[in-house]
Amino acid sequence: MRNNKKVALITGGAAGMGLAVTSKLVEDGWSVIIADINHDIGVQAAASLGSSTTFIKVDVTNYDDQVAAFEKTIAIHGRIDFVFANAGIAGRADFYDSPDSWPPKPPALQVEEICLRGVVYTSYLAMHYMRRNQPPGGVIVTTASAASIYASPDLPLYSAAKHGVLGLMRSMSEHLKNEGIRIHSILPGAIRTTLHSEGIWSQFPKGDFTPIEEVVSAVLGLVNDPTSTGKAMEISAGEVFDRSQPEFSNETMRRIMTGKSY
């Protein structure tokens, strides 16, 4: 049955930051679709949060899965106000290891598939479904990473994917400015979720972690600010930094990059 609650779709909503944002939204009176590949924890999360949540099993790398989740959201709730494109993995591929055969086999690109392709699909579908809202509009937040702006020597493919997520957001935000569709990214540091094993997390000094509540608060801040778009919020152990794109080098570059040259 439809009501006046606001509606969110959250990829990777069954664990970690996605679950924390889902819980807060439910507390604030939203209806939330949890779109996650992990059926067991997804069902469990939806059951524990109550009737305002619905779990849909989605592999974000599969376009048809994502379309089905958006369609089901519309079928149940009639609109989508907020999409959190958040599902991801760390993808510790052995990029630098010596190959066991020659020429080297192609590198494993699963992290690109999930963290970049998945976010492209989610953001693209969010834009099209939000254009059909009455009135049109909505807000998208993509989960990028500190690895979107800093080199991450141990995770080059993760960093490449997350740089892509930031570039997508910045480009879309400019284009969608006048359509009432806002899009932002969060760039967290280290959050002790199931992204890495405890074996890896236990090597981090405790003070290096950012409490998950800070991520939730940054996401909700972006969602609830009706005017801003294109923000990239770095979140690091108690501090939040608004990371604008670099200044244009000169007027020629401004013209080229803002589409005024053609």
Stretch that binds ligand NAI, among 32-40, 96-104, 174-182, 222-230 (CB under 6 A): 32-40
Q: Which of residues 221-250 bind ligand NAI (CB under 6 A)?
A: none
Strand (E) positions, the chain?
7-11, 31-36, 53-57, 82-85, 138-143, 181-188, 232-236, 239-242
Q: Which two tokens stand for residue 212?
A: 């998950």
Please state the closest distance from residue 161 (CB atom) to ligand NAI, in A: 8
Burial class for 48, CB neighbours closer than 10 Å (0-12, 13-18, 19+)? exposed
Radius of gyration of the chain (CA): 19
For every residue of 117-160, DSSP letters joined together read IHHHHHHHHHHHHHHTSSS--EEEEEE--GGGTS--TT-HHHHH
Active-site hit among 96, 105, 124, 162: 162
For ligand NAI, give the closer residue by CB, 85 or 101.
Answer: 85
Give the whole-angstrom CA distance, residue 178 versus residue 72.
Answer: 28
Stretch that binds ligand NAI, among 12-20, 73-81, 120-128, 131-139 (CB under 6 A): 12-20
Please state the closest distance from residue 58 (CB atom) to ligand NAI, in A: 5
- Please state, in angstroms and as integers, the Cα–Cα distance from residue 145 to each residue in 61, 160, 261, following that order: 19, 11, 32
Q: Which of residues 59-98 bind ligand NAI (CB under 6 A)?
A: 59-61, 86-89
Active-site hit among 5, 105, 129, 158: 158
Burial class for 158, CB neighbours closer than 10 Å (0-12, 13-18, 19+)? buried
Clarify whether 5 is annotated catalytic.
no
For ligand NAI, give the closer residue by CB, 7 or 58.
Answer: 58
Closest among 48, 75, 58 to 12, alpha carbons compared:
58
Count of residues interacting with ligand NAI (CB under 6 A): 29
Which of 25, 58, 130, 233 is the binder for ligand NAI (CB under 6 A)? 58
Asked if 179 and 136 count as a contact pair (C-beta separation under 8 A), the reply is yes
Residue 244's H or E segment, with its range, is none
Please state the closest distance from residue 178 (CB atom) to ligand NAI, in A: 29
Which of 23, 193, 217, 236 is the binder for ligand NAI (CB under 6 A)? 193
List the 53-57 sheet strands across, edge first. Answer: 53-57, 31-36, 7-11, 82-85, 138-143, 181-188, 232-236, 239-242
Stretch that binds ligand NAI, among 14-22, 24-32, 219-227, 250-258 (CB under 6 A): 14-22
195 touches ligand NAI by CB under 6 A: yes
Please state the closest distance from residue 190 (CB atom) to ligand NAI, in A: 4
Stretch that binds ligand NAI, among 30-38, 101-109, 130-138, 174-182 (CB under 6 A): 30-38
Clarify whether 162 is annotated catalytic.
yes
Residue 237's H or E segment, with its range, is none
For ligand NAI, give the closer residue by CB, 37 or 232.
Answer: 37
Indicate which residues carry an active-site annotation: 158, 162
Q: Which residues bind ligand NAI (CB under 6 A)?
A: 11-12, 14-18, 36-38, 58-61, 86-89, 114-115, 118, 143, 145, 188, 190-191, 193-195
